[in-house]
Chains A and B, each alone.
Chain A
Amino acid sequence: MNRGEGKLSVVVDRVDTITPMIKRFSFRARDGGELPRFSGGAHVIVEMPDGEILRRNPYSLMSDPADPSRYAISVRRDEAGRGGSRFMHEKVREGMELTISMPVNMFPSDRRARKHLLLAGGIGITPFVPHILELAAAGAAFELHYNVRTREQGAYAEDLARRFGDRVHVYETDLGEGFDLDAILSDQPLGTHLYVCGPKGMITDVIGRASEFGWPGQNVHYEEFLAPQPGKPYQVELARSGITVEVASHQSLLEAIEAAGVDAPYLCRGGACGQCETAVVSCDGQILHNDHYLTDEEKASGEKIMVCVSRFEGRRLVIDR
């Protein structure tokens, strides 16, 4: 692997329809070699050349970290979204060449843990698949509780349940099932680390209850990719580049900057890593901070904006880019 590239050329190896809403895509390296190793919880950014627009969306890797021949991701179709998942579902076929980023992990396991307690909801299962394979290979103690609407949507969990038996618990919410959070949280050995990935409401609920049960904050981990929210179109002046860009209602500020040919740093594109932090030069209006990287004080100060997910409403915004 050459130092300094940060991107991978891959070929779509296989597309599987898991449910009408979920497709699984498998990639192999275009040069036929091994793909870089990754750790459970890592994601890649998939570049999608969709006509005039180059979309870049993050997806958790869900393949086996021990197998460098393939990567796999799952994409849930989001009709109300900005188009990335529709592109993946409608345009991406076996044999297609794509560019993806090197894996980045913002949701790793803590290897000091005596036990790993994994709570998943819906498509939030994806980062836990490599986590579980990794933990099982290392002989670590783990337990997965997975809420899914129907059995068929729980396809991945079926496979895990077959392999790991009573360490995997699947609940069908359409049948009124669901994990008993209080029972689970109140009966864990010391040194257990908790990981949660799923819908926003579930994450908030789990974190809140864990705190009430006295779980130390450092033992509670979550991953929530914030998709950039659509909003009203607006203009932003890029001070260093000396240009003004138009941000369309279904475009993020970062995408508008990139579309204008200006290079901007990013890693997660989901408001979590802090890499795209940009200084605000002047602001006459309101920044709609959608990230969970900046502190409340930083958001209130109006001096910084995370361009991957945040927007602006008002008369004039000038940023240092």
Chain B
Amino acid sequence: MTIVFNEETFRDDFTFRNSPVAIKRFPFPFHEDRYMYSVNIEPHVKTAPGSVYEHAFDVDEHYVAEMRDRELVLAEDPLRCQSLPHMELAGWDLLELIMTSKAEDYPDLFELYRDGDSWRWINRPLGIDDSFTFGDASTLPYGPMEYITRQTQGDFALLDQRDGNLWMDAGIVTTQADWSLDFDIGMNFFEWHGPVPLAHDMRVFERALKFLLNLQHGKPARRLNWTMTINPRLDTSPENYHKWGTDRATVTPENVGNLVHLRVELQTFWRLPRSNAIVFPIRCYLIKMDELVTVPKWAKRLHRVLKTLPPELIDYKGLSRYHGMTVEWLSRYDDGSPTSPGFFPDDWQDFQR
């Protein structure tokens, strides 16, 4: 598969767009016409060739532009990337995981040559060809976590495991749905989750923590989470709220299709072998309503999901300002006919061929 990388932006003129292929493989997060918060974790195994679940770390047409956007965010605010001193080994674990996965999954884009601790890494899309000593951070331009995540789509949290809990002791976060690494660094699993409406009652966090504490090397897991964003803006951080918060007031019934985006996070969970830490990549996918309704099943389903969304969740996800307008806009694409089960578009089989 040859990927043509888009020339596009996630700020200012917002030229981000999805090709027809990118639309078809969008990780639509609703398998039925209603949504309720759940842990919904499943094994992160190779499934559905062509989908975002096929490879360990999905690389798509937005790769180069997303990496450029990350560079801009880090240049403005270096605190988006932090690693407490005891987490460097976990950074090497992550570098090894991503390099070996990408070189295997995308041999035409990435190459890795290893001779003991002497490594050579070639990243063709970004024009990188570096030789370094594995385990010696002085041989890289950045620490190992920062080096590899400047070349990998998605945010990353590195979680140290101790005292029967997980601690957010390192990470790089530039494409987040309104949370801050600088605020959360050093917090444990319960502290950084804080209150999520309707979730604590169901003890979902206790169950999720136990699952993660027993996560095994070689058995990664994944789940989807979602929210909505105005404009295809990756960096919706609390630090920059003054830049994007007001976007929500710009939505009108006429521009819903262009401005309102479904924002889906493909979250994966990996046990790292050398450090016993967990890495939690959070990969963000964006799709505007105009693009989403080109898949009739998704148009109908999203209309029904949003229409029946509990008020607490509308508020928690920050949709209050434009929720009504979006439901109204989507209603034009919902004839009330039944939708097929599952996430994928009805013509997914044809697409895979």
**Contact flags (1/0) for B65-93 with A, using CB distance below 8 Å?**
00000000000000000000011010001
**In the complex with contacts A37-B274, A39-B273, A111-B275, A5-B218 CB distance below 8 A:** yes
Residues of A contacting B216 with CB < 8 Å? 6, 102, 104, 267
Cα of A248 to Cα of B275 in the assembled complex, Å: 40
Residues of B contacting A218 with CB < 8 Å? 162-163
Given contacts A4-B218, A37-B273, A138-B89, 18 further A-B contacts (CB under 8 A): A3-B43, A3-B45, A3-B219, A4-B219, A4-B220, A5-B219, A6-B216, A37-B93, A37-B274, A39-B273, A39-B275, A39-B276, A65-B274, A102-B216, A103-B217, A105-B276, A273-B214, A274-B210
**In the complex with contacts A3-B56, A4-B219, A111-B86, A267-B214 CB distance below 8 A:** yes
Cβ of B131 under 8 Å from chain A: no
Residues of B contacting A4 with CB < 8 Å? 43-45, 218-220
Residues of A contacting B243 with CB < 8 Å? none
Cα of A245 to Cα of B81 in the assembled complex, Å: 54
27 contacts between A and B (CB under 8 A): A3-B44, A3-B219, A3-B220, A4-B220, A5-B218, A5-B219, A6-B216, A36-B273, A37-B274, A38-B217, A38-B273, A39-B273, A39-B275, A65-B274, A102-B217, A103-B217, A104-B216, A105-B276, A108-B161, A110-B86, A110-B162, A111-B275, A138-B89, A218-B162, A267-B214, A267-B216, A274-B214
Residue of B nearest to A265 (CB): B214
Instruction: Give the residues from 207 to 265 in chain A that come closer than 8 angstroms, CB to CB, to chain B.
Output: 218
Cβ of A112 under 8 Å from chain B: yes
Question: Could you say which of B44, B160, B218, B276 contacts A102, with CB atoms under 8 Å apart?
Answer: B218
Residue of A nearest to B275 (CB): A39
**In the complex with contacts A36-B218, A104-B216, A3-B46 CB distance below 8 A:** yes
Cβ–Cβ contact A112 & B86, under 8 A: yes
Per the CB 8 Å criterion, the residue count for chain B at the interface is 25
Per the CB 8 Å criterion, the residue count for chain A at the interface is 26
Residues of B contacting A275 with CB < 8 Å? 214
Cα of A1 to Cα of B219 in the assembled complex, Å: 10
Residues of A contacting B220 with CB < 8 Å? 3-4
Instruction: Give the residues from 31 to 57 in chain A that come closer than 8 angstroms, CB to CB, to chain B.
Output: 36-39, 41-42
Cβ–Cβ contact B214 & A1, under 8 A: no
Residue of A nearest to B86 (CB): A111
- Taking the closest CB of chain A, its distance from the CB of B271, in whole angstroms, is 9
Cα of A79 to Cα of B217 in the assembled complex, Å: 33
Residues of A contacting B87 with CB < 8 Å? 111
- Taking the closest CB of chain B, its distance from the CB of A100, in whole angstroms, is 12
**Contact flags (1/0) for A106-133 with B, using CB distance below 8 Å?**
0010111000000000000000000000
Residue of B nearest to A218 (CB): B163
**Contact flags (1/0) for B207-226 with A, using CB distance below 8 Å?**
00010011011111000000
Residues of B contacting A103 with CB < 8 Å? 217, 273
Question: Could you say which of B213, B214, B218 contacts A3, with CB atoms under 8 Å apart?
Answer: B218
Residues of B contacting A42 with CB < 8 Å? 276
Residues of B contacting A65 with CB < 8 Å? 274
Residues of B contacting A6 with CB < 8 Å? 216, 218-219
**Contact flags (1/0) for B160-178 with A, using CB distance below 8 Å?**
1111000000000000000
**Contact flags (1/0) for A83-115 with B, using CB distance below 8 Å?**
000000000000000000011110010111000
Residues of B contacting A138 with CB < 8 Å? 89
Residues of B contacting A105 with CB < 8 Å? 276
Cα of A36 to Cα of B217 in the assembled complex, Å: 9
Cβ–Cβ contact A111 & B89, under 8 A: yes
